[in-house]
Chain A
Amino acid sequence: MTAFILVRLVRAIAVLVFTVTLVFIVLRLSGDPAQQMLSDNAGPEALAAFNAKWGLDRSIPEQYLYYVANVLRGDFGVSFADGREVFTVVGERIPKTLIVTVSAFIVSMLIGIPAGILAAMRRESALDKGVMAGAVLGYSVPNFLLGLTFIFVFAVWLRVLPSSGSSTWNHAILPVATFALFNAAALARFMRSTLIDVLGQPYIAAARADGIPRWEIIFRHALPNAAIPMVTTLGFVAGGLLGGSALIEPVFAWPGLGSGFVNATNTGDLPVVQAMIVLFTVFMVAINLIVDVLYAVLNPKIRKH
């Protein structure tokens, strides 16, 4: 198991190094930063001073090391938009995004997992068909459309919730609900099919033959097995929530990383875009690492090899 986790750790670091390198290449290819940062009529001395300040007058390998060293220190340069440290600009937005994604993640598990379990236990029943119809609906409506519908119903029509901003907890309800419903649908579907698959395994038939009560078969024998593929899906959902924040946050004018990324892309604020790509990769790599560790913990075939 230690070897398994070490391998995953090395892989995670490799992915991060690769991403940082890619971002450096994009930085080099995206034009002369001095020209972009300084006004058009800046003189050659000003350009040279700028290049010296940011190390742009050195060789490419040197610049690469310089860049990596800066990134490791959390120095992603300054935002083109307002000249503030990118670290601060991006850092402010992290908690906002985490509030919405983590809440949505928890809510979608609380809804989707029990719904999937019930549907699998009462397979082909009205309950199962109801849950699955809901799941298909929730899954096939695009996220942002669901968000707009919520805004229309709860903010414009019923006027019970605010439609945009982040000043109160109420502001978080609609973005969280939008995210949670979509992902609850995905989780319910996957939970159901995984559990049905496990319930069809010979060891479950053997447990039934042994007279083990139904609830014990579900909770002690089936779910621990279903949890193994489920962990991978939860990882996908968590990653999807982060990626999806670029779609959902602008809809609700929620000032998190997603809106920030869209803004920075629109205004060409390259340092911010790059820092966000690195940050996003860090999140993804962390999620993958957690999934891998949980997978090994839950699966004796990996844990005890």
Chain B
Amino acid sequence: MSKLLTVRDLVVEVPARNIKILDGINFSLEAGQTLGLVGESGCGKSVTCYAVANMLPRGIVRSGGSVTFEPGGPSTRKPAVPKIAMIFQDPTSSLNPVHTIGYYLESALYRHQGLKGSDARMEAMRLLERVGIDRARSRLRAYPHQFSGGMNQRVMIAHALAAKPQLLIADEPTTALDVTMQAQILHLLEELKAETGMSLMIVSHDLGVIARLADRAAVMYCGKIVETASVAELLERPSHPYARALIDCMLSIDPDDLAPPVPIPGSVPLLDSLPEGCHFHPRCLRASGECSARFPAPANIGFAHEVSCYHPVAA
């Protein structure tokens, strides 16, 4: 498999507040592969997506590291211009309220594929049908506020497909949807990935979503990736105490299991008062002296399985 994206030592800061949102992120993504980013809210998953898509909001800057895309084919020598599309947590507010669905899709088809007029309209209808929206012709005249959140997420996916992306970034694509809709959208993403061969970066605070779609997963905590492994390996042998706790939480949310989920004690620290050393140490049952002195360097503990912890949980 060929590499599509490499992120090296990525640092993202808020200069005005002198805080680091991301502090040395490393990962790579192969063509056609799916990477899952998981972690509690506020750990920097969305900011990682924005940095990769080069759309960091005002006031947030990339101050170190690199995000590189491999050229499309072996003969391409010019700098790679990746085709990245992104879908968001709240689809309805990510759609312009004054434009129709038709305008939204057709203008994207013109921008990315040069389609105009009735060609663009036919393709927009085909895309809507592909993402599971029926009566496509009349839907093209509708506005986002006339659709449910799930329908709007489908529209966003159709819009993403119009770009024929090499990489689709899905930032909590199902978090705002009800359970049945979540399952449908995840299923749709699975199908489209297989159909188009695009890479997918999927973000969720819900390991279940990651487990379903991703090949590899990265667990984030306070702006750092603390563990990466294949999804199967991570679910079976989580080594970082935080990853372990996340997985225990998830597995215990089981309808047949009457015991309540075991919460991770304490709460995520604020970025402007991060604990020294391993940021997890105030909440970690395995913490020792060195944990609060220096951040543990990532170490290989299995095939493509890296963890940043002085005392990883044994398998």
Task: Name A residues whose Cβ lies closer than 8 Å to a Cβ of B.
Answer: 200-203, 205-212, 221, 224-225, 228, 298-301, 304
Known: A203-B93, A210-B85, A210-B163. 12 other contacts (CB 8 A): A200-B58, A201-B93, A202-B93, A207-B96, A209-B53, A211-B111, A221-B96, A224-B98, A225-B97, A298-B98, A300-B145, A304-B145
- Shortest CB-to-CB span from B33 to chain A, Å, is 21
Interface pair B55/A225, CB less than 8 Å apart: no
**B85, B93, B96, B146 — most chain A CB neighbours (10 Å):** B96
Q: How far, in whole Å, are A208 and B86 apart by their CA atoms in the complex?
A: 11
Query: Whole-angstrom distance between the alpha carbons of A228 and B96 in the complex?
Result: 13
Residues on B with C-beta less than 8 A from A207 are 96
Whether B57 sits at the interface, judged by CB under 8 Å, is yes
In chain A, what residue has the closest Cβ to B103? Answer: A220
Partner of B146 from the list A203, A209, A304 (CB cut-off 8 Å) is A304
- Give complex CA distance A209, B88 in Å: 11
Q: How far is the CB of A294 from the nearest CB of chain B, in Å? A: 13
Q: Is the CB of A225 within 8 A of B98?
A: yes
Question: For A301, what are the chain B residues with a Cβ–Cβ distance below 8 Å?
Answer: 97, 143, 145
* Pair A202/B94 contact, Cβ less than 8 Å: yes
Contact, CB under 8 Å: B94 / A206: yes
The yes or no answer to B30 lying at the interface (CB within 8 A) is: no
Interface status of B108 (Cβ within 8 A of chain A)? yes
Closest to A204 in B: B96
Rounded to whole Å, the gap between the CB of B164 and the closest CB of chain A is: 13
- A220 smallest CB distance to B (angstroms): 8
Q: Report A43 CB to chain B, min CB distance, Å.
A: 71
Nearest residue (CB) in A for B162 is A210
> Which residues of A are found within 8 Å of B142, using beta-carbon distances?
304
Q: How far is the CB of B295 from chain A (nearest CB, A)?
A: 31
Q: In the docked arrangement, what's the CA distance between A224 and B100, Å?
A: 13
Indicate whether A304 sits within 8 Å of B143 (C-beta atoms), given known contacts A210-B111, A210-B163, A212-B111: yes
Cα A211 to Cα B86 in complex, Å, equals 11
In the complex with contacts A208-B55, A300-B143, A301-B143, A203-B95 CB distance below 8 A: yes
Q: Report chain B residues within 8 Å CB of A205.
A: 55, 57, 94
Interface residues of B in 70-128 (CB under 8 A from A): 84-86, 88, 90, 93-100, 108, 111
Chain B residue contacts of A206, Cβ below 8 A? 86, 88, 94-95, 156
Cβ proximity bits B34-73 to A, threshold 8 Å, 1 near / 0 not = 0000000000000000000101011000000000000000
Q: A205–B56 Cα gap in the complex (Å)?
A: 9
Residue of B nearest to A210 (CB): B108
Chain A residue contacts of B53, Cβ below 8 A: 209
Q: Identify the 3 closest CB pairs spanning chains A and B, nearest first.
A: A300-B143, A206-B94, A203-B96
Q: Which of B145-167 contact A (CB under 8 A)?
A: 145-146, 156, 159, 163
A202, B85: Cα distance in complex, Å: 15
Contacts of A200 in B (CB 8 A): 58
- Pairs across A and B, CB under 8 Å, 30 listed: A200-B58, A202-B88, A202-B93, A202-B94, A203-B94, A203-B95, A203-B97, A205-B94, A206-B88, A207-B96, A208-B55, A209-B84, A209-B85, A209-B86, A210-B85, A210-B108, A210-B111, A210-B163, A212-B111, A221-B99, A224-B98, A225-B98, A228-B98, A298-B98, A300-B97, A300-B98, A300-B100, A300-B143, A301-B97, A301-B143
Give Cα distance in the complex from A200 to B59, angstroms.
12
Cα of A209 to Cα of B53 in the assembled complex, Å: 7
